[in-house]
A = this chain, B = another copy of it.
Amino acid sequence: MGGAIDELVKRNLDHRADSESARAARPGLRVAVLTCMDARIRPGVAMGLELGEAHVIRNAGGLVTEDALRSLAISQGALGTREVMVVMHTRCGLEGDEHELRKELARAAGLAPPFPLGRFASLERALREGVQRIRTTPWLPHRDQVRGFVYDVDEGRLREVEI
């Protein structure tokens, strides 16, 4: 019990903070990346992010939820980011049928969450809708550099989707 968390705490003891590096809260590249929680995605590694360069927002799917918009509002309005990169990915567990997933979660816990799980039938359509949702949110100050990408979890490669 508690094995995984204990392991991560142990690994943290071997981590050394970059003493010279970014101590400022404002991301150096002035960009926020929104992507999926998926274990096969390491945004820092895949995009070579250095400490202090970007905000990284992650949830199941990389969906533009109200909570993602809350995070983006703070990222832009208080911490100076100007661009938003939405990165969804191949073989995402959220691609599929909402009802099937709801049944699966109800089986696991005895009951299902009291709100939609955000499952989608088409990855590219979900990405387009997400990018458009950001672009049309009036209380976000910077909406002219919002772009959408699909990350291939097998190849490790980003592909931009024109939106």
Identify the A interface with B (CB < 8 A): 1-5, 7-9, 11-12, 14-18, 22-23, 25-33, 37-40, 42, 44-49, 51-60, 65-71, 73-79, 82-83, 85, 91, 93-94, 101, 104-105, 107-115, 117-118, 138-141, 144-145, 147, 149, 152-158, 160
Q: A48-B12, A74-B93 are in contact. Are A37 and B17 (CB under 8 A)?
A: no
Give the 8 A-B CB pairs with smallest separation, nearest first.
Answer: A17-B156, A11-B48, A67-B67, A77-B108, A77-B105, A4-B31, A60-B71, A109-B141
Q: Is the Cβ of A74 less than 8 Å from the Cβ of B117?
A: yes
Per the bound structure, the CA–CA distance linking A76 and B109 in Å amounts to: 9
Per the bound structure, the CA–CA distance linking A76 and B60 in Å amounts to: 11
Residues of B within 8 A of A51 (CB): 39-40, 42, 45
Minimum CB distance partner of A105 in chain B? B77
Q: Is the Cβ of A7 less than 8 Å from the Cβ of B29?
A: yes
Most chain B CB inside 10 Å of its own CB: which residue of A7, A101, A113: A113
Nearest Cβ on chain B to A126's Cβ, whole angstroms: 15
> Which of B16, B105, B145 interacts with A5 by CB under 8 Å?
B145
